[in-house]
Amino acid sequence: MKRILAFPNPVDDAAARTVATGVVLMCALAWLTGPWWLVPLTYGFLARLASGPTFSPLGQFATRLAAPRLARWRKPVPGPPKRFAQGIGAAFSVATSLVWWSAGWSIARWILVPLMAAASLEAFAGLCLGCTIFGWLIRWRLVPASVCAECGDLTAHFARTRAT
């Protein structure tokens, strides 16, 4: 059971960007056609948070079909920050669903705007906001560095890059 619910580490960046593209598309479809796209959007985030791509149709598509064909973006990146980002996406999609059920779609749809913006940054620029926040939490010692040893290396790398 532990293996089924394991999140991959490292994560293929091409797969992560493919998933983000799918999130952007689902958010846009929800905006254009109505809230029913929240069902696969929310399910996908919860499934990926629990087990990476294992139970997520979008995750399976990204890892098995899309990523192998996107050689330009294939690089391993640490898994824990990506899981944290999936948690943020799950929180936004669950919040959108709850507001839809309680206050209506005209209000709830606005919660998708920051989610779509963050997913767009990941999909089209390779910038993961959730990963950035995760790095800050490690730097501020709110998340133990032992959670992601590779993340400390990345934080040090980015600090050196900015200093030069």
pTM of the model: 0.87
Strand ranges (DSSP E) for 16-130?
76-77
Contacts of 47 (CB under 8 A, 6+ apart): 54, 55, 56, 59
Closest of 6, 8, 133 to residue 77, by C-alpha = 8
Higher pLDDT pick, 157 / 36 = 36
Closest of 123, 154, 119, 116 to residue 9, by C-alpha = 154
Give 63's Cβ-side CA count (13 Å radius): 15
As a whole number of angstroms, the distance between CA 95 and CA 30 comes to 15
Q: Is the pLDDT of residue 107 over 70?
A: yes
3 state SS of 12: strand
Q: Is the pLDDT of residue 163 over 60?
A: no
**pLDDT tens-digit readout, 140-157:** 999 888 888 777 555 444
Q: Is the pLDDT of residue 16 over 50?
A: yes
Contacts of 34 (CB under 8 A, 6+ apart): 105
CB 45 within 8 A of CB 116: no
pLDDT at res. 160: 42
